[in-house]
């Protein structure tokens, strides 16, 4: 490495022009094949069969081919298998997908990881010093320990074979290694789906699957074979045809591309707005239903916990305030929602378990059949062994299949056994998962009910106290009346009023009949307040026994 | 490939997300990445500015051309002076260095009379990990510590060692001269 670098180090800084010439003459032509040969070792995803696209053009295609090789392995497997599966099928969409795939073009627009928007706070130390975005497929240099995105580092390395931070000479094959810990950290970052219109947020490692398989907004190739543009997946049905033709807008008669019609209505078109009758705001005509159903603040709606017993119905902004307050049915609603979620998960796990069991049964059957056949063969040595054809259902693990084909597993029986073991472990895992989930679920339920129980008990005790107060009051009143009747003269309407309205907090200056009544009811709490000697004695006792703490 | 590109360009105006993202199909298009990175740098410069330096994209909205200012460091002949610079970024930035010129005339051993700078990190020592802020800081320190071994302005390089007083006068002369012209 040093000889390569030495002349550069020695050259005194030359004029500007000479440097620029140097720079512009650095083409990517030599860069592309290098990348392709290196990446299987470097990138996070080795052995992708897609890594052999047609010879790349000199300038623009190298990055594209690079991205192809760095696509997550999971997806590339999927795409390959889907191609294989659909090659024979006759539906138009399948043909489009597969034929284009086979010509080396991806049916889905690739993710540009540097353009991603991150939802979670990203630590500064997880940012590549070159592109200043969170690392994608990070590589660490072995001699100096600096980390970069593999793409950034390889590009920089192509221009000058040194570390971009400390200019230490680096060799691609010897000095680069994957940064696994960082890789895991990055996988957990929450990102927004890059498709326009899709608000999906997920962990970064799951993004590729969402984007390439499930997202309805992912740009895919236009279903029309003669068209080379991209279109959101939800609009790419073959029966809709190519949406990249211009049509006049029905409201303002401007020429608009079919695919952009919706956006045109929403953003530009002026002849398309109407006033909402309820809230007086102007809304795009064909969004009116949506506006009334979701946005309009004056429409009367039900509380969102309506299902769980809240009967509130009012204009939307009132209901929103009511829900925020929060609605008392929220606790129950949340609990019920959690339960529903858990039930969903459990049912999904059950389905997976039963599928695994089914596969296991098939595997067992195969095994017994094979044993049977072997025994028969042992008895009848003249028979030649029939050629082994592995069942497609069972060879769903490409690694196992590959190792079988490579001859690491000697016989079909070994292969079957390996499959069988794999099934068993899978089932065991599933069973464990279900148990865990069950436990978690019941724990959560218990916690929530405990809180409710406590609250109920508290309420009960409060009711008891109130009851006691009432009986005490009743006693007071009854006794004062008795005295009135007995004394006859003293019982003026004033004193009876005082006794009925005075609770435990009434002052001692009330009429004597009240204090008398209180003394006569020693089982009441309120009685103690009137028995003035008791608290005083306690106080003095306490002071006598305990020395001051200071 | 060339056919599809042509097609793309013809139908581009008015079409929405599909063509807007069309560039990304060819992988990472250099220009896009350069702007993205420059945006990030702008953000960083705005949120945590370093003392004595500032930079901002030119008024015409082109992210590939910036204007910057540095203040002359204390204890140098340039103390108290402010220098304007222009940055031109190549489309493959940060893999290639920006072209940096002094707009304010400056009398310095490593800057010629048209403002071109002789600094290794702007030429062969550039690496992709440099950014606008580090370049500006390097230039600021170059003001105080010129590299007299490879001068663009030979007279200045001689005077720097021999006659600091005269050097200071020349610096002030040159700085004043052109600022009035501006």
Compute the CA torsion angle A286, A292, A297, A303 (nearest 10 deg): -150
Give the confidence band of A106 by pLDDT, cuts at 50, 70, 90. Answer: low
3-state SS, residue A248: strand
Tokens of A416: 């079957």
For position A27, what pLDDT does the model report?
36
Give the confidence band of B176 by pLDDT, cuts at 50, 70, 90. Answer: low
pLDDT over threshold 80, residue A477: yes
Asked about B146 being catalytic, the answer comes back as: no
**A236 vs A13, more confident:** A236
A-B interface: how many C-beta pairs under 8 angstroms?
A: 138
Contact A232 B18 (CB under 8 A): yes
Contact B17 A219 (CB under 8 A): yes
Q: Is A216 on the interface with B (CB under 8 A)?
A: no
CB A305 within 8 A of CB A329: yes
For position A468, what pLDDT does the model report?
95
For residue A300, give Cα distances in angstroms to A30, A290, A292, A318, A393.
Answer: 67, 14, 10, 9, 55
Give the confidence band of B2 by pLDDT, cuts at 50, 70, 90. Answer: very low
For position A382, what pLDDT does the model report?
54
**A460 vs A410, more confident:** A460
For position A72, what pLDDT does the model report?
38
Between A162, A167, A229, which is nearest B18 by CB?
Answer: A229
Kindly report the nearest CA distance between residue A271 and chain B, in angstroms: 18
Q: Is the dihedral of CA A503, A506, A511, A517 positive or negative?
A: positive
CA triple B161-B162-B168, angle to 5 deg: 80
Tell me how many helices (H) and strands (E) chain B has: 6, 4
Other C-beta atoms closer than 10 Å to the C-beta of B34 total 22
Q: Is A259 on the interface with B (CB under 8 A)?
A: yes
For position A361, what pLDDT does the model report?
93
Please compute the mean of the pLDDT values over residues A7-19 and round it to a whole number: 38
| Chain B residues near residue A20 by CB distance under 8 angstroms | 99
Q: Is A420 on the interface with B (CB under 8 A)?
A: no
pLDDT over threshold 80, residue B123: yes
Share of chain A above pLDDT 90, in %: 17
Q: Is A331 on the interface with B (CB under 8 A)?
A: no
3-state SS, residue A272: coil
**Mean per-residue pLDDT of chain A:** 69
Can you name the residues that pair with B71 across neighbouring β-strands?
Answer: B82
CA triple A143-A144-A147, angle to 5 deg: 115
Contact A64 B25 (CB under 8 A): yes
pLDDT over threshold 80, residue A126: yes
Choose the catalytic residue: B34, B85, B118, B119.
B118
pLDDT over threshold 50, residue A249: yes
For position A41, what pLDDT does the model report?
39
pLDDT over threshold 50, residue A258: yes
Q: Locate the chain A residue with the closest alpha carbon to B3.
A: A228
CB A126 within 8 A of CB A118: no
Cα A343 versus chain centre, distance: 18
For residue A506, give Cα distances in angstroms to A498, A499, A501, A514, A515.
Answer: 9, 9, 9, 10, 10
Between B16, B37, B99, which is nearest A132 by CB?
Answer: B37
Average the pLDDT over each of A307-316, A454-463, A504-513, B71-80 and give the range with the smallest value: A504-513
Contact B119 A65 (CB under 8 A): no
pLDDT over threshold 90, residue A48: no
CB A284 within 8 A of CB A265: yes
pLDDT over threshold 90, residue A426: yes
3-state SS, residue B116: strand
Q: Is A249 on the interface with B (CB under 8 A)?
A: no
Tokens of A352: 């997976």
CB A390 within 8 A of CB A419: no
Contact B18 A259 (CB under 8 A): yes
pLDDT over threshold 50, residue A254: yes
Please compute the mean of the pLDDT values over residues B140-156 and round it to a whole number: 89
| Chain A residues near residue B18 by CB distance under 8 angstroms | 219, 222, 229-232, 244, 259
CB A282 within 8 A of CB A275: yes
pLDDT over threshold 80, residue B167: yes
Contact A11 B124 (CB under 8 A): yes
CB B107 within 8 A of CB B154: no
For position B13, what pLDDT does the model report?
40
Please compute the mean of the pLDDT values over residues A219-235 and round it to a whole number: 77
Q: Is A55 on the interface with B (CB under 8 A)?
A: no
Q: Most confidently modeled of A179-193, A255-269, A497-511, A520-534?
A: A179-193
- Give me the helix-helix angle, A150-159 and A31-42, nearest 10°: 140
Render pLDDT for B8-54 as a digit per residue (tens, 0 to 9). Answer: 334 334 333 333 333 333 344 555 678 888 888 898 888 888 888 99
Q: Locate the chain A residue with the closest alpha carbon to B31.
A: A60
Q: Is A411 on the interface with B (CB under 8 A)?
A: no
Average the pLDDT over each of A285-294, A474-483, B135-144 and give the range with the smallest value: A285-294
Residue A457 host element (H or E): helix A412-487
For position A297, what pLDDT does the model report?
79
Please compute the mean of the pLDDT values over residues A487-494 and round it to a whole number: 52
Share of chain B above pLDDT 90, in %: 21
pLDDT over threshold 90, residue B135: yes
pLDDT over threshold 50, residue A96: no
Please compute the mean of the pLDDT values over residues A312-326 and round it to a whole number: 80
A373: cis peptide before it, omega within 30°? no
Contact B27 A65 (CB under 8 A): yes
| Chain B residues near residue A131 by CB distance under 8 angstroms | 33, 36-37, 94
For position B164, what pLDDT does the model report?
86
Best to test chain B binding among A137, A157, A230 (most B CBs inside 10 Å): A230
DSSP string computed for A470-517: HHHHHHHHHHHHHHHHHH-SS--HHHHHHHHH--TT--TTS-HHHHHH
The residue among A81, A82, A87 whose CA lies nearest residue A99 is A87
Give the confidence band of A87 by pLDDT, cuts at 50, 70, 90. Answer: very low
Kindly report the nearest CA distance between residue B42 and chain A, in angstroms: 11
Between A13, A133, A222, which is nearest B120 by CB?
Answer: A13
Give this complex's ipTM: 0.71
**A470 vs A132, more confident:** A470
Pairing of strands B53-57, A255-257: unpaired
For position A381, what pLDDT does the model report?
57
Q: Most confidently modeled of A77-86, A148-157, A256-265?
A: A148-157
**A286 vs B122, more confident:** B122
For position A32, what pLDDT does the model report?
38
**A416 vs A68, more confident:** A416
Pairing of strands A176-178, A282-284: unpaired
For position A367, what pLDDT does the model report?
92
């Amino acid at each position: 490495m040093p000889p390569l670098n030495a002349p550069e180090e020695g050259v005194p800084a030359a004029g500007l022009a000479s440097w620029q010439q140097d720079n512009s003459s650095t083409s990517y032509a030599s860069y592309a094949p290098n990348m392709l040969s290196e990446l299987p070792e470097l990138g996070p995803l080795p052995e992708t069969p897609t890594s052999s696209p047609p010879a790349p053009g000199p300038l623009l295609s190298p990055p594209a081919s690079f991205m192809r090789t760095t696509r997550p392995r999971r997806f590339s497997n999927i795409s390959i298998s889907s191609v294989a599966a659909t090659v024979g099928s006759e539906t138009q969409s399948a043909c489009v997908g597969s034929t284009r795939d086979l010509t080396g073009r991806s049916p889905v627009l690739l993710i540009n990881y540097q353009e991603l928007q991150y939802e979670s706070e990203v630590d500064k130390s997880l940012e590549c010093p070159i592109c200043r975005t969170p690392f994608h497929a990070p590589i660490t240099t072995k001699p100096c320990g600096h980390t970069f995105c593999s793409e950034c580092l390889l590009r920089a390395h192509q221009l000058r074979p040194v570390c971009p931070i400390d200019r230490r000479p680096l060799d691609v094959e010897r000095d680069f290694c994957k940064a696994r810990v960082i890789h895991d950290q990055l996988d957990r970052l929450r990102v927004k789906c890059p498709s326009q219109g899709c608000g999906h947020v997920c962990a970064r490692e799951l993004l590729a699957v969402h984007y390439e398989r499930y997202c309805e907004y992912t740009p895919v190739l236009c279903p029309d074979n003669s068209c080379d543009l991209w279109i959101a997946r939800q609009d790419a049905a073959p029966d809709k045809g190519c949406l990249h033709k211009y049509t006049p807008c029905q409201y303002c008669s401007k020429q608009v591309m079919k695919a952009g019609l919706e956006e045109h209505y929403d953003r530009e078109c002026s002849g398309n707005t109407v006033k909402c009758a309820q809230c007086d705001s102007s809304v795009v005509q064909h969004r009116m239903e949506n506006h009334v159903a979701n946005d309009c603040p004056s429409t009367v709606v039900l509380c969102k916990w309506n299902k769980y017993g809240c009967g509130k119905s009012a204009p939307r902004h009132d209901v929103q305030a009511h829900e925020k307050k929060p609605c008392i049915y929220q606790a129950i609603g949340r609990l019920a929602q959690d339960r529903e979620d858990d039930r969903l998960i459990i049912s999904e796990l059950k389905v997976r378990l039963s599928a695994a069991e089914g596969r296991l049964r098939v595997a067992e059957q195969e095994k017994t059949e094979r044993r049977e056949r072997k025994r028969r063969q042992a008895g009848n040595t003249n028979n030649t062994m029939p050629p082994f054809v592995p069942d497609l259902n069972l060879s769903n693990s490409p690694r196992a299949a590959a190792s079988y084909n490579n001859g690491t597993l000697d016989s079909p029986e070994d292969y079957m056994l390996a499959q069988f073991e794999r099934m068993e472990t899978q089932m065991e895992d599933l069973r464990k998962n279900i148990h865990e989930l069950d436990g978690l679920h019941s724990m959560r339920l218990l916690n929530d009910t405990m809180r409710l129980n406590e609250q109920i008990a508290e309420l009960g005790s409060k009711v008891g106290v109130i009851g006691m107060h009432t009986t005490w009051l009743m006693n007071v009143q009854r006794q004062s009346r008795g005295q009135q009747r007995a004394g006859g003269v003293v019982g003026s309407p004033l004193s009876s009023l005082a006794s009925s309205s005075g609770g435990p907090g009434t002052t001692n200056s009330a009429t004597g009949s009240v204090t008398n009544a209180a003394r006569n009811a020693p089982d009441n709490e309120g009685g103690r307040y009137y028995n003035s000697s008791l608290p005083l004695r306690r106080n003095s006792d306490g002071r006598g026994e305990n020395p001051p703490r200071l | 490939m060339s056919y599809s590109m042509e097609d793309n360009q013809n139908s581009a105006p008015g079409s929405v997300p599909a063509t807007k993202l069309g560039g990304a199909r060819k992988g990472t298009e250099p220009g896009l990445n350069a702007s993205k990175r420059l945006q990030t740098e702008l953000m960083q410069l705005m949120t945590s500015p370093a003392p004595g330096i500032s930079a901002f994209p030119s008024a015409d909205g082109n992210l590939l051309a910036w204007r910057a200012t540095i203040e002359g460091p204390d204890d140098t002949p340039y103390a108290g002076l402010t220098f304007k610079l222009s940055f031109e970024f190549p489309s493959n930035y940060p893999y290639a260095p920006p072209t940096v010129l002094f707009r304010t005339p400056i009398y310095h051993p490593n800057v010629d009379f048209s403002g071109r700078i002789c600094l290794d990190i702007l030429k062969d020592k550039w690496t992709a990990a440099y950014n606008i802020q580090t370049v500006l800081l390097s230039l600021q320190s170059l003001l105080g510590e010129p590299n007299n071994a490879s001068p663009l302005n030979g007279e200045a390089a001689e005077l720097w060692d021999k006659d600091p007083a005269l050097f200071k006068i020349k610096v002030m002369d040159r700085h004043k001269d052109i600022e009035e012209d501006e």
